[in-house]
């Protein structure tokens, strides 16, 4: 049998090397981080390691979740974009006008843009894209809901298009800025959905080259790229030759990949690693809270026991999430008291509703008829235990968040709630929601602007979109709220809009339908060799259009 | 005649007693292993004796504390005391380990006896079946079972039991066959003992000794497998104090808070190693006694 031991000289070399490495690791860092070099460098391959679930389709029209948005931002572009102040700016559309009655919008399109398969970008392409999103066979959910008011798309001429609406839509431009309704080649859309999912064709800075499932997607430079959004900086974009978009679900491995240089950018960075990266000159952080909804736990008011507002209030009053957020997130997340993200200017915060008060909670449960406790300390009513099912999507919740849910479970137990956490993969999780098999659920929802409230809390959203997903997971069914949300989305008066959205948020918060936690966390860690990386002001996905690698 | 019969029976019992190994001096490793198993056993039966706290009690203010006199093994991300959780986790791990081994050996005994004593065609059929099952790595078989039944503590226990059965069945079959062809069995048969009587009185005791060793060795393996399944999220569900599940929870934080993975890992390694050392010890003595 051959010996597996090191020979002595070899062992000596290994030990010396290890000591040298250790010393190198312990010695103080070599000065401050290099200043961003002013001259972008062309070329190179960047590796991005994603912790999100690998999309089953690379076309964000289909379904429409955040992992799709992350990657599609690199190869698809929208009609409009936002600047850092949240103002709508031109992208594939150069200008636009709303009709006086608000029932139609006319967009002038760029006439010098072609898709990467050679198809020209024109009015017919816009029509084909909107039709694709609205086609039930596409099974779109995010894009479908965002474009729900568009009834007809008319090509006025080759590069002018008119969108006709069923009702005025104050959120139309915000909706169109999202990558879930980005423009794809109409010729490519004619392929089978399977083909289009594997390699969508857009006008973006990169092109989908190859998708090795369960491993990575390779994106290569679009050599004819000429259509950055109006706020983009630099010429000769993009600089990178290619991007390898890897899927590394395990957060520790992902961070290790960044540290070792195997990856240059990682997403879904864990709070403890963000904290320890602060002192590391070789690693930078990009914190880009997502717009739209805050990260919150929805209480399913559509069935017992949460159909009783007192039980909902009792639950919310009995769980302490502040301490957990502090310790689990190491100061990288701030507690939210609003249905909307902190980046939404119209967000309403009502902290007083969420003060922990276990006595009040106990009284409310007594009042609601859950007065007795069984041998395990759980409350019972008519022989039934106060049980709450909480399906948790392990793909959409980072471990720190899952730990927070465990702490909520422990707190709720003291109050007499039995919370059953069900860690599920994404498809089983969607299944549990479709079966109405949940009492508590945390579902991220990203959309530009406060119109997300209509999608999340209008009673219409209890009806599933073509994908089978319904967004009103709290199952709020309130006529006054419906009315406010409908009117707010139609008004063009900014003050009215603001006050209506404020009232709407008040109804949602006062009704104890949700327990807001924090913004949808969107932390990226990247090597300091990466320059020019920025998050899109639309849905906060990073774009590599202007990124380059310092050698 | 009956005197001879009694003598043969006695011989069989003596054989069985020898292999049980009464009166030997344990080596240092075996003494340590015995102590570890004893501790695990106490932890499993009376966890309150070693750690009076509640393994599920959270205290966010005390999260991520390094090992200290107040928290011997440190605390986890929710401020739960890891020492308390490791102690209370022994019950799950040991109980599931014992049950799984029991299921495995029980099933294997049936298969082994059927193959070892049945007619040739039955032996052929059973042996081939066992060989086919044997072709799958054990953990894969367990995963397959869980995919069908859905994750959970019960299904992971049965899964590990089923997955270990083919290995045991093979050993038991050969043991049964060897014993069945021994001279004293022949003698018993000649003396007119019934078939069942021979199985119960002569073959079973002799096989039991081997089973005991197998079970002890298997326990260590089962503990590891059960932890593996929980680690993969297919067994105990968080926040249960189960070693594999704790290992999985600590994995995320391994770069900064090593104790979250180290101590549950140590518990798995120590108990599995202890069971193996004890099992090997008994096995060695059996062999020298034979």
Q: CB–CB of A252 and B237 under 8 A?
A: no
Q: HSE of A2 in the Cβ direction (CA atoms, 13 Å)? A: 3
Q: CB–CB of B239 and A406 under 8 A?
A: yes
pLDDT at res. A274: 93
Tell whether A407 lies on the interface with B, counting CB pairs under 8 A: yes
Residue pairs spanning A and B at CB distance below 8 A: 70
Contacts of A324 in chain B (CB under 8 A): 58, 60, 78
Task: Identify the three-state secondary structure at position A546.
Answer: coil
C-alpha to C-alpha distances, A109 to A82, A117, A173, B38, nearest whole angstrom: 17, 19, 14, 78
When pLDDT is cut at 50, 70 and 90, the band that residue B260 belongs to is very high
Element at A442 (helix H, strand E): strand A440-442
A186-195, B18-27, B64-73: lowest mean pLDDT where?
B18-27
Nearest CA to A134 out of A115, A153, A160, A154 is that of: A153
Contacts of B64 in chain A (CB under 8 A): 272, 327
Tell whether B58 lies on the interface with A, counting CB pairs under 8 A: yes
Say if residues A140 and A133 touch (Cβ distance below 8 Å). Answer: yes
Q: CB–CB of A410 and B239 under 8 A?
A: yes
Tell whether B259 lies on the interface with A, counting CB pairs under 8 A: no
Tell whether A327 lies on the interface with B, counting CB pairs under 8 A: yes
C-alpha to C-alpha distances, A135 to A194, A207, A461, nearest whole angstrom: 16, 25, 18
Answer yes or no: is pLDDT of A506 > 60: yes
Query: Hey, which residues does A163 pair with through a beta bridge?
Result: A105, A153
Q: Report the relative pairing of strands A160-165 and A548-549 from DSSP bridges.
A: unpaired
Mean pLDDT over the full length of chain A: 90
B223/chain A closest Cα distance in angstroms: 23
When pLDDT is cut at 50, 70 and 90, the band that residue B10 belongs to is low
Task: Identify the three-state secondary structure at position B290.
Answer: coil
> pLDDT tens digits for B262-289?
999 999 999 999 999 998 888 888 777 6
Buried b (16+ CB within 10 A) or exposed e, B168-186: bbbbbbebbeebbeeebbe
Contacts of B246 in chain A (CB under 8 A): none
Say if residues A470 and A456 touch (Cβ distance below 8 Å). Answer: no
User: How many CB atoms neighbour CB A304 within 10 A?
Assistant: 12
Rounded average pLDDT over B142-151 = 86
Rounded average pLDDT over A515-523 = 94
Partner A, chain B 60-99, Cβ-Cβ below 8 Å: 60-61, 63-64, 77-79
Identify how many contiguous H helices and E strands chain B contains and give both numbers: 12, 0
According to DSSP H, which parts of A165-260 are helical? 172-176, 186-189, 193-198, 251-260
Hey, which of A332-346, B152-166, B210-224 has the most confident mean pLDDT?
A332-346
pLDDT at res. B196: 84
Say if residues A235 and A226 touch (Cβ distance below 8 Å). Answer: no
pLDDT at res. B21: 46
Q: CB–CB of B251 and A250 under 8 A?
A: yes
Tell whether A431 lies on the interface with B, counting CB pairs under 8 A: no
Tell whether A399 lies on the interface with B, counting CB pairs under 8 A: yes
Contacts of A20 (CB under 8 A, 6+ apart): none
pLDDT at res. B201: 84
Answer yes or no: is pLDDT of A10 > 80: no
> What whole-number distance in Å separates Cα of residue B198 and Cα of residue B176?
12
pLDDT at res. A13: 44
Contacts of A252 in chain B (CB under 8 A): 251-255
> pLDDT tens digits for B106-115?
999 999 888 8
Contacts of B78 in chain A (CB under 8 A): 324, 327-328, 403, 406-407, 410
Contacts of B25 (CB under 8 A, 6+ apart): none
On the 0-12 / 13-18 / 19+ scale of CB atoms within 10 A, B269 is middle
> pLDDT tens digits for A333-383?
999 999 999 999 999 999 999 999 999 999 999 999 999 999 999 999 999
Closest alpha carbon within chain A to B60: A324
pLDDT at res. B18: 46
Query: Hey, which residues does A48 pair with through a beta bridge?
Result: A245, A265
Tell whether B53 lies on the interface with A, counting CB pairs under 8 A: no
Rounded average pLDDT over A72-77 = 97
Nearest CA to A176 out of A480, A451, A547 is that of: A451
Rounded average pLDDT over B194-207 = 84
> pLDDT tens digits for A405-445?
999 999 999 999 999 999 888 888 989 999 999 999 999 89
When pLDDT is cut at 50, 70 and 90, the band that residue A5 belongs to is very low
Q: CB–CB of B78 and A410 under 8 A?
A: yes
Mutate one of B53, B56, B60, B258 to test the A interface: name it (highest A CB count within 10 A).
B60
> pLDDT tens digits for A417-428?
999 999 888 888
pLDDT at res. B4: 55
Task: Identify the three-state secondary structure at position A151.
Answer: strand
Task: Identify the three-state secondary structure at position B288.
Answer: helix
Contacts of B60 in chain A (CB under 8 A): 320, 323-324, 326-328, 407
> What whole-number distance in Å separates Cα of residue A448 and Cα of residue A276?
32
Contacts of B233 in chain A (CB under 8 A): 394, 423
User: How many CB atoms neighbour CB B78 within 10 A?
Assistant: 25
Sign of CA dihedral B7, B13, B18, B19: positive
Rounded average pLDDT over A289-297 = 94
A422/chain B closest Cα distance in angstroms: 8
Say if residues A447 and A462 touch (Cβ distance below 8 Å). Answer: no
Q: CB–CB of B60 and A272 under 8 A?
A: no
Contacts of B253 in chain A (CB under 8 A): 252, 270, 272
Sign of CA dihedral A47, A49, A52, A54: positive
On the 0-12 / 13-18 / 19+ scale of CB atoms within 10 A, B120 is exposed
> What whole-number distance in Å separates Cα of residue B58 and Cα of residue B75?
10
Tell whether B137 lies on the interface with A, counting CB pairs under 8 A: no
pLDDT at res. B156: 87
Contacts of A276 in chain B (CB under 8 A): 255-256
Closest alpha carbon within chain B to A398: B252
Query: Hey, which residues does A109 pair with through a beta bridge?
Result: A93
> What whole-number distance in Å separates Cα of residue B101 and Cα of residue B223?
9
Mutate one of A255, A258, A322, A327 to test the B interface: name it (highest B CB count within 10 A).
A327
Q: CB–CB of B57 and A410 under 8 A?
A: yes
Rounded average pLDDT over B140-159 = 86
C-alpha to C-alpha distances, A480 to A299, A459, A475, B109, nearest whole angstrom: 19, 11, 15, 70
Q: CB–CB of A327 and B254 under 8 A?
A: no
Q: Between B147 and A60, whose confidence is greater?
A: A60
Tell me what percent of the residues of chain A surpass a pLDDT of 70. Answer: 93
Rounded to 10 degrees, what is the CA torsion of A536, A541, A545, A549? 120
Tell whether B135 lies on the interface with A, counting CB pairs under 8 A: no
B78/chain A closest Cα distance in angstroms: 7
> What whole-number distance in Å separates Cα of residue A494 and Cα of residue B258?
53
Answer yes or no: is pLDDT of A6 > 80: no
> pLDDT tens digits for A148-205?
999 999 999 999 999 999 999 999 999 999 999 999 999 999 999 999 999 999 999 9
Q: CB–CB of B58 and A400 under 8 A?
A: no
Mutate one of A403, A424, A425 to test the B interface: name it (highest B CB count within 10 A).
A403
Rounded to 10 degrees, what is the CA torsion of A355, A360, A365, A367? -140
pLDDT at res. A15: 43
Tell whether B7 lies on the interface with A, counting CB pairs under 8 A: no
Answer yes or no: is pLDDT of B227 > 70: yes
Q: CB–CB of A272 and B257 under 8 A?
A: yes
pLDDT at res. B236: 81
Tell me what percent of the residues of chain A surpass a pLDDT of 90. Answer: 79
> What whole-number distance in Å separates Cα of residue A307 and Cα of residue A300?
7
Nearest CA to B82 out of B91, B90, B92, B74 is that of: B74
Q: CB–CB of A410 and B58 under 8 A?
A: yes
Rounded average pLDDT over A235-259 = 92
On the 0-12 / 13-18 / 19+ scale of CB atoms within 10 A, A296 is buried
Nearest CA to A385 out of A418, A428, A431 is that of: A418
Tell whether B150 lies on the interface with A, counting CB pairs under 8 A: no
Contacts of B63 in chain A (CB under 8 A): 327-328
Cis preceding linkage at A409, omega within 30: no
Rounded average pLDDT over B178-197 = 85
Query: What are φ and ψ of residue A453, in 5° steps?
Result: -60, -35
Tell whether A86 lies on the interface with B, counting CB pairs under 8 A: no
pLDDT at res. B6: 56
Contacts of B163 (CB under 8 A, 6+ apart): B104, B138, B139, B141, B142, B145, B225
Closest alpha carbon within chain B to A259: B255
Mean pLDDT over the full length of chain B: 85
Q: Report the relative pairing of strands A160-165 and A150-157 from DSSP bridges.
A: antiparallel
């Amino acid at each position: 049998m051959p010996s597996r031991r090191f020979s002595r000289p070899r062992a000596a070399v290994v030990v010396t090397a290890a000591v040298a490495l250790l010393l190198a690791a312990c010695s103080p860092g070599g000065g401050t981080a290099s200043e961003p070099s002013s001259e972008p460098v062309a070329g190179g391959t960047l590796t991005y390691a994603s912790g999100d679930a690998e999309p089953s389709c690379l076309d964000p029209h289909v379904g429409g979740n955040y992992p799709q948005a992350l990657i599609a931002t690199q190869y698809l572009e929208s009609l409009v974009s936002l600047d850092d102040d949240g103002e709508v700016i031109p992208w594939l559309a150069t200008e636009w006008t709303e009709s006086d009655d608000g029932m139609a919008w006319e967009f002038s399109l760029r006439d010098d843009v072609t898709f990467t398969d050679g198809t020209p970008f024109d009015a017919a392409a816009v029509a084909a894209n909107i039709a694709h999103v609205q086609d039930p066979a596409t099974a779109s959910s995010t894009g479908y809901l965002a474009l729900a008011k568009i009834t007809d798309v008319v090509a006025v001429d080759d590069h002018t298009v008119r969108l006709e609406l069923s009702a005025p839509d104050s959120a139309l431009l915000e909706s169109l800025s999202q990558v879930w309704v980005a423009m794809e080649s109409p010729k490519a859309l004619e392929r089978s959905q399977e083909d289009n999912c594997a390699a969508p064709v857009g006008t973006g800075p990169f092109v989908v080259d190859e998708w090795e499932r369960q491993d990575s997607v390779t994106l290569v430079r679009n050599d004819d790229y000429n259509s950055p959004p109006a706020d983009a900086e630099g010429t000769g974009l993009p600089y990178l030759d290619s991007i390898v978009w890897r899927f590394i679900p395990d957060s520790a491995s992902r961070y290790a990949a960044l540290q070792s240089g195997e990856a240059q950018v990682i997403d879904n960075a864990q709070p403890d690693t963000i904290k320890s990266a602060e002192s590391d000159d070789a690693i930078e952080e990009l914190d880009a809270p997502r717009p739209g909804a805050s990260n919150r736990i929805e209480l399913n008011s559509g069935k017992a026991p949460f159909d009783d507002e007192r039980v909902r209030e009792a639950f919310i009053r009995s769980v302490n999430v502040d301490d957990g957020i502090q310790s689990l997130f190491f100061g990288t997340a701030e507690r939210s008291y609003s249905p909307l993200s902190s980046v939404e200017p119209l967000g309403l915060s009502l902290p007083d509703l969420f003060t922990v008060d276990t006595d009040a909670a106990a009284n409310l449960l007594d009042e609601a008829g859950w007065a007795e406790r069984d041998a395990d300390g759980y409350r019972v009513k008519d022989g039934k235990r106060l049980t709450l099912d909480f399906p948790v999507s392990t793909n959409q919740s980072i471990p720190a968040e899952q730990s927070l849910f465990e702490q909520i479970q422990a707190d709720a137990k003291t109050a007499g709630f039995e919370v059953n956490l069900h860690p599920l993969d994404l498809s089983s999780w969607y299944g549990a929601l479709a079966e109405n098999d949940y009492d508590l659920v945390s579902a991220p929802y990203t959309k530009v602007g406060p119109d997300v409230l209509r999608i999340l809390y209008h009673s219409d959203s209890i009806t599933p979109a073509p994908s089978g997903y319904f967004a009103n997971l709290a199952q709020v069914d309130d006529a006054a709220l419906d009315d406010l949300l409908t009117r707010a989305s139609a008004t063009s008066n900014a003050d009215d809009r603001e006050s209506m959205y404020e009232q709407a948020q008040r109804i949602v918060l006062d009704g104890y339908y949700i327990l807001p936690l924090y913004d949808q966390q969107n932390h990226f860690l990247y090597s300091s060799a990466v320059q020019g990386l920025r998050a899109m002001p639309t849905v906060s996905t990073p774009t590599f259009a202007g990124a380059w690698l310092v050698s | 005649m009956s005197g001879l019969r009694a003598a043969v029976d006695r011989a069989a019992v003596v054989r069985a007693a020898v292999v049980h190994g009464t009166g030997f001096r344990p080596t240092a490793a075996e003494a340590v292993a015995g102590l570890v198993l004893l501790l695990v056993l106490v932890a499993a039966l009376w966890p309150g004796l070693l750690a009076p706290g509640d393994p599920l009690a959270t205290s966010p203010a005390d999260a991520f504390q390094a090992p200290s006199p107040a928290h011997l093994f440190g605390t986890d991300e929710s401020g739960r005391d890891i020492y308390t959780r490791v102690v209370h986790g022994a019950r799950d791990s040991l109980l599931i380990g014992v049950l799984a081994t029991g299921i495995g050996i029980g099933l294997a005994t049936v298969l082994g006896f059927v193959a070892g004593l049945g007619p040739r065609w039955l032996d052929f059929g059973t042996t081939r079946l066992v060989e086919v099952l044997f072709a799958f790595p054990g953990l894969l078989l367990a995963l397959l079972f869980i995919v069908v039944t859905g994750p959970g503590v019960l299904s992971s226990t049965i899964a590990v039991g089923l997955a270990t059965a083919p290995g045991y069945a093979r050993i038991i079959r050969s043991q049964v066959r060897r014993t069945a062809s021994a001279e004293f069995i022949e003698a018993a048969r000649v003396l007119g003992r019934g078939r069942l009587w021979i199985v119960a009185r002569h073959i079973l005791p002799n096989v039991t000794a081997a089973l005991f060793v197998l079970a002890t060795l298997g326990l260590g393996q089962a503990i590891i497998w059960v932890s593996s399944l929980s680690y993969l999220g297919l067994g105990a569900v968080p926040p249960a104090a189960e070693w594999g599940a704790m290992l999985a929870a600590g994995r995320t934080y391994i770069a900064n808070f090593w104790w979250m993975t180290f101590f549950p890992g140590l518990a798995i390694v120590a108990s599995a190693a202890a069971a193996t050392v004890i099992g090997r010890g008994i096995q060695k003595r059996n062999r020298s006694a034979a």
